[in-house]
Amino acid sequence: MNEAKYGEHYSVLKKEIMELFDLHKIVEDSQEVYGDLTFGAGGHSCAILENFPKAFLHAFDQDKEALANGIERLEAGSYSSRAKIHHSNFENFSTVIDEGLLFNGVLLDAGVSSHQFDSGGRGFSFRFDAHLDMRMNNDESIKPASHYINTLSEAELLKIFREYGEEKFSNNIVRSILERREVSPITKTKELEDICFHSYPKKLRHGKIHPATKSFQALRIHVNRELDVLTNVIGQVIPRLKVGGIFAIISFHSLEDRIVKHRFRDLLSGDIPIEILTKKPLLPSKEEIFENSRSRSAKLRVVKRLEEWPRKNKYR
């Protein structure tokens, strides 16, 4: 297990995001303020601080390991005086950030970091045998995945695997979970992996995607309320952008991307004038996908705050 040392994380679409922040830089701005709602290993945060020497950065991460590493990284880059990391869920954005502070650019790079995924003890991956935990924030008030697996009803589990995992064999998997937990509680990643594996028809067990992949994703989304917090934060950030400021969101699966797309579209009829800069999401280049295969499902959508509604939207 590698909890002690914070692992590397390849920052997805970093060049494109820096170019966007640069393109939408506000001329003659005396106080540049940026936000990174998902600090992780700090790759995007450090790039912002490096590329925008006048900037002050507010970063968020709900994971204490990311926070501890972040403080070290900022010190190593001599950025500490221009950055503050908030140990908080980004869904608390509007209460954590002082009222009145407006941002030039905010980034949200959704999901788990490579460090979390590759840390055996965190329970995110069935590659390691570990407690079925999956909490990004391991505060006692947040329940681990094992709690849900052992206590939720059949209907609740089915909803999670179907909606968040789009798992075709949810019925078989949930039936096996219910049978297995009758005998003894399911507490380990490898137990759940085994259940998923044997719930797949024999001829589909060795396909490109492991039979446990979608169920692990579904459970992780549920444990961390990933879709709710994403939905909640978008409307909080937009009013905190300067006129001309942008909000960029990288998502990693269709459920997240759908939320971003629809929330941006809903906000087009809100009180704050905005423009969606990405009619279609921006995707990583072939070179980036070659260097980092985890970036292959990334999609970037960007919204900009305007002074007033563009003419075509005047009579919305």
Among 16, 61, 133, 191, binds ligand SAM (CB under 6 A): 61
φ, ψ dihedrals at 246, nearest 5°: -125, 155
**Comparison of 12 and 130: residue with beta carbon closer to ligand SAM:** 12
Sheet of strand 103-109, all strands in order from the earlier edge strand to the far edge = 83-87, 55-61, 32-36, 103-109, 241-251, 299-305, 274-276
For Cα atoms 108, 114, 120, give the angle at the middle one, nearest 5 degrees.
Answer: 135
Q: Which amino acid is at 90?
A: F
Our finding on whether 11 is near ligand SAM (CB under 6 A) is yes
Our finding on whether 133 is near ligand SAM (CB under 6 A) is no
Total number of residues that touch ligand SAM (CB under 6 A): 22
Our finding on whether 60 is near ligand SAM (CB under 6 A) is yes
Among 32, 109, 133, 256, binds ligand SAM (CB under 6 A): 109
Among 136, 238, 241, 300, binds ligand SAM (CB under 6 A): 136
DSSP H helices in the chain: 14-23, 43-51, 64-76, 93-96, 114-118, 145-151, 154-163, 170-183, 189-199, 213-223, 226-237, 254-267, 286-291
Is 188 in a helix, a strand, or coil?
A: strand
Our finding on whether 44 is near ligand SAM (CB under 6 A) is yes
Q: Looking at residues 172 to 191 of the shown chain, list those that interact with ligand SAM (rule: CB under 6 A).
A: none
Among 16, 21, 33, 42, binds ligand SAM (CB under 6 A): 42
Among 89, 104, 146, 217, binds ligand SAM (CB under 6 A): 89
Segment lying near ligand SAM (by CB under 6 A), choices 38-46, 189-197, 264-272, 302-310? 38-46
**Comparison of 139 and 154: residue with beta carbon closer to ligand SAM:** 139
Are 161 and 173 within 8 A, CB to CB?
yes
Our finding on whether 259 is near ligand SAM (CB under 6 A) is no
d(C-alpha 140, C-alpha 123), whole Å:
16
For Cα atoms 42, 144, 95, give the angle at the middle one, nearest 5 degrees.
Answer: 50
Letters for 215-254 (x = contact with ligand SAM by CB under 6 A, - = none) are --------------x-------------------------
Our finding on whether 35 is near ligand SAM (CB under 6 A) is no
Q: Print burial letters for 168-187: b (CB count within 10 Å at least 16), e (below 16).
A: ebbebbbbbbeebbeeeebb
Q: Looking at residues 260 to 299 of the shown chain, list those that interact with ligand SAM (rule: CB under 6 A).
A: none
Chain centroid offset of residue 168 CA? 24
- What is the binding site for ligand SAM (CB under 6 A)? 9, 11, 38, 40-44, 60-63, 66, 89-91, 109, 111-113, 136, 229
